[in-house]
Structure 1
Amino acid sequence: MPRGRAGARRGAQLGAGLVLYAASVALLVHPALGSMPWDVLSQGVARVTGWTFGTTTVVISLVVLVCWVPLRQRPGVGTAANVLVIGALVDPFLALAAMLPEPLPLAVRVAMVVLGVGVNAVATGLYVGARLGPGPRDGLMTGLVARTGHPVRWVRGAIEVLVVAAGWALGGTVGLGTLAYALAIGPLVHVLLPRLTVPTEG
């Protein structure tokens, strides 16, 4: 773990980013208008197994980490924190969302999706910008890019198509939120990440 002022900032950014990431998951899942690609898979697996969404997220993260081994990816502090913090907070955030009056008007559900995408972009910029290790899914993508030589956009696209298809087949929700996330997250993170990355010391 880095020390000094920059190290403190990186740790704070990591924590804030992961908390916001868990909140963004709830904002996108609760309206039932379509979730982020990996969350579609988590929904489907949770539906089949009866596990909570948070438990399912942790299990899938651990399975993905096993896939790092042949790719020779190395986890960092941020990798472990990603699994533990998001997995621990998703269920409480979903429980808070469930306290909203039902049925929610469509306009409110759409607003939650838009807010969820925005919060997720900020969260991603914060935790990636902390430079303390990629999340399991990001590490899988970068590992495959390094091993295959294919462009990031194609590798990420192929992974997300596969997980969405698998999640949808298992009962996960695909819809407006999934499409909005796919179209918006790349450009948003592209703008935010340079501004949120902690500079190297020296």
Structure 2
Amino acid sequence: MIQRRLFQLLWGLVLYGFSMALMLRANLGLDPWDVLHQGLSPRLGLSFGMTVNLVGAIVLLLWWPLRQRPGIGTVANILVIGTAVDISLACLPVPEGHAMRFAWLAAGIVLNGIAGGAYIGAGLGPGPRDGLMTGFCRRTALPVKWVRTAIEVAVLVIGWLLGGTVGLGTLLYAVTIGWIVHHALPFFTIAPAAGRPLPA
């Protein structure tokens, strides 16, 4: 069972990074966190992927006062996604024409939702950014929708001010990603074996 979980976790994280690269190449707008990563990347002198990994590590440090507990999936999230983005960007050409760019954007969003359902469904620990949200909810007793919205808006505004790309893709991601993950998650969720605790 643990081998299946690890395999699903890893391919989910790699696919997540690949989907981010598709959206980057489409250049039609990114999700809020990637707007932040894109804005920070040139200022830090790091590749986009390494910026993703660094921000993930910094966010993980914020878990400490929130008393969040990371799992294998949390650490893998920090190490794998950004690396997968950089490798994918090195292999993907720049799409030509609006139709191709939109197709890459749409594919990126759909694959991102599927990948999110896969790595969350593996049940080996939330990503740093998701854990930040749940930690704030637990400590403040505020509803998830308020905390998630506040975090997403904050990183979007900061990323936009730093030069990150906000556009059609940002809007499409916002209105579709929840629906895609909602339908992907039940398909990929691996139930724990009876009487055996889930590894953390």
TM-score by length of 2: 0.94
CA contact (8 A) 1:17 1:127 kept: yes
Gaps of 5+ in 1: 1-5
- Give the Cα–Cα distance (whole angstroms) in 1 for the partners of residues 29 and 130 of structure 2: 21
- Identical amino acids, percent of aligned pairs: 53
- Give the Cα–Cα distance (whole angstroms) in 1 for the partners of residues 84 and 178 of structure 2: 24
- Give the Cα–Cα distance (whole angstroms) in 2 for the partners of residues 38 and 194 of structure 1: 25
Deviation of 1:194 after TM superposition, in Å, equals 1.3
Q: How does 1:67-106 map to 2 (within 5 A)?
A: 67-97=62-92, 99-100=93-94, 104-106=96-98
Pick aligned residue for 1:60 from 43, 55, 58: 55
Pick aligned residue for 2:133 from 128, 132, 141: 141
Poorly superposed stretches of 4+, deviation over 6 Å:
none
- Give the Cα–Cα distance (whole angstroms) in 2 for the partners of residues 25 and 42 of structure 1: 11
- Give the Cα–Cα distance (whole angstroms) in 1 for the partners of residues 105 and 145 of structure 2: 23
Structure 1 residue 35 and structure 2 residue 36: aligned?
no
Deviation of 1:191 after TM superposition, in Å, equals 1.2
Which deviations, in whole Å up to 9, do the C-alpha atoms of 1:77-97 show, x marking residues without a partner? 001100111122211111222
Deviation of 1:100 after TM superposition, in Å, equals 3.8
Deviation of 1:47 after TM superposition, in Å, equals 2.5
The CA RMSD over aligned residues, in Å, is: 1.0
Gaps of 5+ in 2: 195-200
What is the count of residue pairs matched by the alignment? Answer: 194
Q: How does 1:1-202 map to 2 (within 5 A)?
A: 6-97=1-92, 99-100=93-94, 104-202=96-194
CA contact (8 A) 2:25 2:94 kept: no
- Give the Cα–Cα distance (whole angstroms) in 2 for the partners of residues 117 and 88 of structure 1: 19
